Amino acid sequence: MQTPSGMDPRELMLTAARAIAVYIFMLIVIRALGKRTVGNFSAFDLLVALMLGEVVDEIIYGDVLFLQGTVAIVAIAALAYADSWLAYLHPSMEALLEGKPTIIVRDGKFERRGMRSERMNEQDVMAHLRAEGIHDMREVHLAIVELDGTVSILKREWADPAQKADVVKDAAREREQAIGDNDTPPPSQRTDSRSALNAA
């Protein structure tokens, strides 16, 4: 018996069953890979997502055997898992595997070399600064294109808004307990340090 569209109901049921099985399996894989996979994509994460999407499509429509597709998904997921551990254990490998952050504005001026490597013109940079609420480029200490393509903005000290600790005594005491007399963080805790940026 066939449906009005000429398709065998059993084949439709098999497609639905494969889709459900793949959904459950992919949910397990994505949970195993961690939150980073479903956040903003790095180039490697995007490649993994595209490959997984292609394999899933083939499995659901029965173009490849479920077992073959499962093996491919496990292999891709294992590669992504190994990549994330390698980057965690050896930070220098992350730059090789996934690239490194690129500075596009430094101390209120365009960083042309970084803009060239990211193929961003002045209008692109300005648009990112506006999106972060920056009205005056001179306020920016660093603007950095991160591995996932987002642009992080670090303001100059004089452009930072007043903090609660600047006006509330309890908050000032709490800040003093946390950082002591030294307002400048140590290099290991600075987000704009050379090690954090992997800058040359």
pLDDT of residue 130: 92
pLDDT tens figures, 141-171: 999 998 777 899 999 887 777 766 666 777 6
pLDDT tens figures, 175-187: 777 777 766 666 6
pLDDT tens figures, 54-67: 888 888 877 888 88
Strand order in the sheet with 102-106: 109-110, 102-106, 140-145, 151-155
Architecture per CATH, 100-157? 2-Layer Sandwich (3.30)
For the chain, what are the domain ranges? 9-96, 100-157, 162-200
pLDDT tens figures, 21-78: 877 787 777 667 655 445 456 666 767 777 888 888 888 877 888 888 888 888 888 8
Contact 119, 166 (CB under 8 A): no
pTM of the predicted protein model: 0.57
pLDDT of residue 152: 92
Q: Is 175 left (phi over 0), alpha (psi -120 to 50) or beta?
A: alpha
pLDDT of residue 183: 66
Nearest CA-CA partner of 197 in 85, 108, 111? 111
